Chain A
Amino acid sequence: SQKIEQNSEALNIQEGKTATLTCNYTNYSPAYLQWYRQDPGRGPVFLLLIRENEKEKRKERLKVTFDTTLKQSLFHITASQPADSATYLCALHYGGSQGNLIFGKGTKLSVKP
């Protein structure tokens, strides 16, 4: 079965630094991968989508890379701020035409002032 691992349960960094979160997967070749942000007690919010034929995608201070050979995606937040503190989930499309996703457990990011 498909397996997704976000290799850090928690990541603590200083304000202004770049946060790098990792998502690894096995047993599948997803056509695309998404990153979501989830605040405590709230539903996930979509951030970025990257397709298998794209190496990198950017949105403001966010950058996502997708290496289908390594079966890995990296999610970067540059110039991090305390407001970026949240749990970040990666999600893979695993088949079908309705966009079914399998989610990782997430990495809880804490940005200290």
Chain B
Amino acid sequence: DAMVIQNPRYQVTQFGKPVTLSCSQTLNHNVMYWYQQKSSQAPKLLFHYYDKDFNNEADTPDNFQSRRPNTSFCFLDIRSPGLGDAAMYLCATSTDSYQETQYFGPGTRLLVL
């Protein structure tokens, strides 16, 4: 089945230690998104890729970076995680047409010690 896969499902890191979360998709969608969702909060868009074109949200901290080496994969790098970065990180995809739904992966829950 076509899907969005996120690994790992749970990630524990130490304060200040760089961490990378990964997302892959078999939907062949052009657009990939990264969201941060804290407990009982709305998913917050960090950035998205339209093909290789990177689009950063204005309020996304510089501590967050992303890479998309090919259509199928996208990575979220947190250069120096702080305690406030503990959250669920959701990857989503959509086609390149307007008014399209987004397909989400199961998420990676990040814990910062």
Contacts and interface: CB of A to CB of B under 8 A. Distances in A.
Contact of A51 (B92, B99, B101): B99
A99 B99 contact: yes
A51 B107 CA distance: 28
Q: How large is the interface on B (under 10, 10 to 19, 20 to 34, 35 or more residues)?
A: 20 to 34
A46 B102 contact: yes
Interface in A24-81: 31-32, 34, 36, 41-46, 49, 51
Q: How large is the interface on A (under 10, 10 to 19, 20 to 34, 35 or more residues)?
A: 20 to 34
B82 interface: no
A100 interface: yes
Contact of B104 (A44, A51, A97): A44
B42 A43 contact: no
A42 B106 contact: yes
B51 to A, nearest CB: 10
A41 to B, nearest CB: 7
A43 B99 contact: no
A93 B107 contact: no
A101 B102 contact: yes
A99 B48 CA distance: 10
Interface string B26-69: 00000100000000111111001010000100000000000000
A99 B42 contact: no
Contacts of A101: 45, 102
A44 B90 contact: yes
B45 A99 contact: no
A31 B99 contact: yes
In the complex, the 9 A-B pairs of residues with the closest C-beta atoms, listed nearest first = A43-B104, A103-B42, A46-B101, A105-B42, A99-B100, A103-B43, A98-B50, A43-B107, A44-B104
Given A31-B98, A42-B107, 4 more contacts: A43-B106, A98-B94, A99-B99, A102-B42
